Amino acid sequence: MSLLDELKNRSGNQCELCTSTNDVSTYEVKPTSTGGVDGSLLACATCIDQIENPENTDANHWRCLNDSMWSEHRAVKVVAWRMLQRLRNEGWPKDMLDMMYLEDDDLRFAQATGEHLDDSEKVIHRDVNGTILQAGDSVVLIKDLKVKGSSMVAKQGTAVRRISLDRDNAKYIEGKVGPTQIVIITDYVKKMAEKE
């Protein structure tokens, strides 16, 4: 059974956030550490667009979280928590957040995108061109980099997929080059377009 089929089966073929049955597809929750059925949910195009593009967020659409925040599935709870955090200045989401409970591991996963931080507290990672990097993005190295503590050299042009961000330092990201997880300075990477 494919991941999409598993999610459709789990959700009754409806968006696990707002229950819409229109234009539903798999959404992998960033940063994608687990992927698969535990790290994904079935979501409609409207929910995905608003998750990915904060400027498109329609607060009234997310009143649906009153139900979905109680989901037994980790990915659904994490996205519900993140969207409630994004909307907390609206008033009503604050009450829902006060009722919501996440296990420590789930809370760490939910906080990985920094959605709960005020803008002044957020560490913003930018590539060499100033493009904002987000957890789960793919980047390409723009120069050969020696890997500290090994004889390995990460070559210019190497793609590093599904990066994670250092929460304390805007210059550091992490990603895998081959089998090795390395820390990379953002001055030496360029964000890859979605379809690269």
Identify the pLDDT of residue 120. Answer: 54
Q: Are residues 14 and 101 in the same domain?
A: yes
Q: How many CB atoms lie within 10 A of CB 177?
A: 18
92-135 residue pLDDT tens? 999 999 999 999 988 888 887 766 665 555 677 889 888 888 88
Q: Which domain CATH number covers 182? A: 2.30.30.40
**Torsion on CA atoms 179, 134, 194, 180, rounded to nearest 10:** -10
Q: What's the mean per-residue pLDDT of the chain? A: 87
Q: Are residues 81 and 147 in the same domain?
A: no
Q: Are residues 76 and 106 in the same domain?
A: yes
pTM of the full structure: 0.61
Mean pLDDT on 51-65: 91
Q: How many CB atoms lie within 10 A of CB 57?
A: 14
Strands 189-191 and 180-185, sheet pairing: unpaired
With beta carbons less than 8 A apart as the criterion, state whether 127 and 186 touch: yes
Strand partners, 27: 41
Amino acid at 31: P
Q: Domain ends where: 71, 86, 111?
A: 111
- Flag whether 116 is in a domain: no
154-183 residue pLDDT tens? 899 999 988 888 877 888 898 888 888 888
Q: Domain ends where: 55, 87, 111?
A: 111
Q: Are residues 46 and 107 in the same domain?
A: yes
Q: Which two tokens mark 101?
A: 């409970």
Q: Are residues 127 and 53 in the same domain?
A: no
Q: Are residues 69 and 12 in the same domain?
A: yes
Residue 101 CA to residue 180 CA, distance in Å, equals: 35
Beta strands in the chain (DSSP E): 24-28, 40-44, 125-126, 132-133, 139-141, 145-146, 153-154, 159-160, 164-165, 172-177, 180-185, 189-191
Residue 125 CA to residue 169 CA, distance in Å, equals: 8
- Domain of 44 in residue numbering reads as 3-111
Q: Are residues 135 and 64 in the same domain?
A: no
Q: Are residues 138 and 75 in the same domain?
A: no
Domains in the chain, number: 2
Report the percent of the chain where pLDDT is more than 90.
49
- Flag whether 118 is in a domain: no
Q: Are residues 32 and 73 in the same domain?
A: yes
* DSSP 8-state symbol, 133: E
Q: Are residues 107 and 134 in the same domain?
A: no
- Flag whether 117 is in a domain: no
Q: Are residues 104 and 144 in the same domain?
A: no
Q: Are residues 36 and 102 in the same domain?
A: yes
Q: How many residues are recorded in the chain?
A: 196
